[in-house]
Amino acid sequence: MTPSAHVDTFARDHLPAAADLPELLFELPELQFPPRLNAATELLGKRVAAGDGDRPCVIGESVRWTYAELLAQAGRIARVLVEDLGLVPGNRVLLRGANSPALAACWFGVVRAGGVAVGTMPLLRARELRTIVDKAQVTHALCDSRLLDELDAAAPDCPTLQHRLSFHGGELEARAAAKPAHFDDVDTAADDVALIAFTSGTTGVPKGTMHFHRDLMAACACWPPHVLRPTRDDVFIGSPPLAFTFGLGGLLLFPLAAGASTVLIEKATPDALLPAIERHRATVCVTAPTSYRAMAQQVGAHDLRSLRKCVSAGEALPAATRQLWKDATGIEIIDGIGSTEMLHIFISADEAHARGGATGVPVPGYRAAILDDDGRELPPGQVGRLAVKGPTGCKYLADERQRQYVQHGWNLTGDAYLVDADGQYVFQARTDDMIISGGYNIAGPEVEGALLAHPAVAECGVVGVPDPERGQIVKAFVVLRPGHEGDEAMARELQDFVKRTIAPYKYPRAVAFRASLPRTETGKLQRFRLREG
């Protein structure tokens, strides 16, 4: 280990024990990292030093910053943190705000100063913020002024949180404006923690996943150049929050690693995203499957000719959604499974290799396997637990669940998968979402995939509910498209439709119609809430 630059050693002190860490792979030549590395220097400082300072970098509703301007903004913020608020390397800084250039500048300010960025979802309430501040022993917070209330409500019970500054017409900008732009990035060790990302898990106490400077650069070196293949003229846009590693990578780190630009908009619901793509002539769209499905219905009114690549992650991409988007835009979606623990996407397929219903193959740099319950590798065609290893891996902050996620050096994502005859990885379900009905194992997402091909179905979620005879039965919750009636005839029609599409025993014996489905802020269906009723 090279000497840490962290003066505050909390993050390093709470890494999992060596025996509980996943095995790491650094086989690719582009994964040979030097012992000292600051991800902000790599992505921003070096780009400006190389002469790209005048190129467009981050674009918001009302600002367009070049690389040099983002570097300057981040430098001023780093100075405020260090000179005014006494930040020392290793301190954890909570970031709270919707996606915007200002939030990106805060992120880079923290990382340049050797701090540990702790992103939080804009919708979190005081109670949840308190849990995060407490777990990560957060010392500083930079918060969008419009989201201050919940943070202020949490603060009295947060003894570690010494400093709060707001941006967006707040004190941070006023202080930053008075500072010189130049700042010498802290010379961090490659394995100093740069980020603590809290999982967007649908249940339980949130887990903090720690990522090194090196992890951020490893993610930039694997999926983007090998699968997405962006160019410096690309304009990224999308919905996932920067607090979610899907958004941090897809909408900030990866565009910058490619020398491209990124549009950071606060509101990126499907009806806001379409006009924004048109307005900014975006070329790479990053969002979740449900968002593509909703946008596919409304494409007609918009000029999307600038778009060249579309990325989907966060949930399985149903084959029907892939097809709808392709029919509407001509674009084959790039699906990829990633996780907060792994930082970003590790199995994916580019446009040429994409196949409906399959996620793809391990991304260069990663290895994957399907394991049985005893950790033995299963042959193709058999459903088992997805296991993965690569240059990034799970490092929970002081959490017993490390030993669940990491076993025998593998990261176990909690997903049931199989490898098909072509070597493609095919998602089945979250392991705890598998439905066991009358002795059959049924994967809810497969039934959802079948239902989504019916023209009356807008969205659906399929879960197992208790049944005295079969143990569980398959129950479908369906949101219908406008103009369709959720009556018994429709329920029967959908049941027959599923029986004709997949093995009949998988059909939903119960069908309930809903106006909407419960989802997390990251777009994931909350199946546990469907099971509750």
The answer to the question of residue 290 lying near ligand 3UK (CB under 6 A) is no
The answer to the question of residue 356 lying near ligand 3UK (CB under 6 A) is no
Separation between Cα atoms, residue 291 and residue 296, nearest integer Å: 8
Separation between Cα atoms, residue 103 and residue 118, nearest integer Å: 12
The answer to the question of residue 335 lying near ligand 3UK (CB under 6 A) is yes
Residues contacting ligand 3UK: total by CB under 6 A: 24
Q: Which of 370, 391, 394, 399 is nearest to 382 (CA)?
A: 370
Residue-by-residue DSSP string for 348-387: E--TTT--TT--BEEPTT-EEEEE-TTSPBPPTT--EEEE
**Which residues, including other chains, have CB under 8 Å from residue 397's CB and lie 6 or more apart?**
11, 14, 135, 136, 196, 207, 208, 209, 210
Q: How many CB atoms lie within 10 A of CB 149?
A: 12
Span from 71-79, 330-338, 365-373, 494-502 in contact with ligand 3UK (CB under 6 A): 330-338
Span from 55-63, 115-123, 339-347, 457-465 in contact with ligand 3UK (CB under 6 A): 339-347
Separation between Cα atoms, residue 365 and residue 225, nearest integer Å: 11
Separation between Cα atoms, residue 158 and residue 392, nearest integer Å: 31
The answer to the question of residue 207 lying near ligand 3UK (CB under 6 A) is no
The answer to the question of residue 254 lying near ligand 3UK (CB under 6 A) is no
The answer to the question of residue 38 lying near ligand 3UK (CB under 6 A) is no
Q: 82: which 2 tokens?
A: 């260090």
Separation between Cα atoms, residue 503 and residue 321, nearest integer Å: 21
The answer to the question of residue 215 lying near ligand 3UK (CB under 6 A) is no
Separation between Cα atoms, residue 478 and residue 372, nearest integer Å: 33
Span from 168-176, 261-269, 336-344, 480-488 in contact with ligand 3UK (CB under 6 A): 336-344
Out of 415, 446, 448, 459, point to the residue binding ligand 3UK (CB under 6 A). Answer: 415
The answer to the question of residue 313 lying near ligand 3UK (CB under 6 A) is yes
Closest separation in Å from C-beta 347 to ligand 3UK: 8
The answer to the question of residue 314 lying near ligand 3UK (CB under 6 A) is yes
The residue (of 186 and 418) whose beta carbon lies closer to ligand 3UK is 418
Closest separation in Å from C-beta 399 to ligand 3UK: 14
Q: How many CB atoms lie within 10 A of CB 272?
A: 13
The residue (of 113 and 286) whose beta carbon lies closer to ligand 3UK is 286
The residue (of 200 and 402) whose beta carbon lies closer to ligand 3UK is 200
The answer to the question of residue 337 lying near ligand 3UK (CB under 6 A) is yes
Mask 88-127, x = binds ligand 3UK (CB under 6 A)?
A: ----------------------------------------
Q: 20: which 2 tokens?
A: 């509980």
Q: 427: which 2 tokens?
A: 């998602």
Q: 375 to 394, contacts with ligand 3UK by CB under 6 A?
A: none
Out of 255, 259, 336, 508, point to the residue binding ligand 3UK (CB under 6 A). Answer: 336
The answer to the question of residue 218 lying near ligand 3UK (CB under 6 A) is no
Separation between Cα atoms, residue 346 and residue 330, nearest integer Å: 25
Q: 428 to 487, contacts with ligand 3UK by CB under 6 A?
A: 430
Q: Which of 494, 519, 518, 517 is nearest to 507 (CA)?
A: 494
The residues binding ligand 3UK (CB under 6 A) are 199-200, 245-246, 313-317, 335-340, 344-345, 359, 413-415, 427, 430, 522
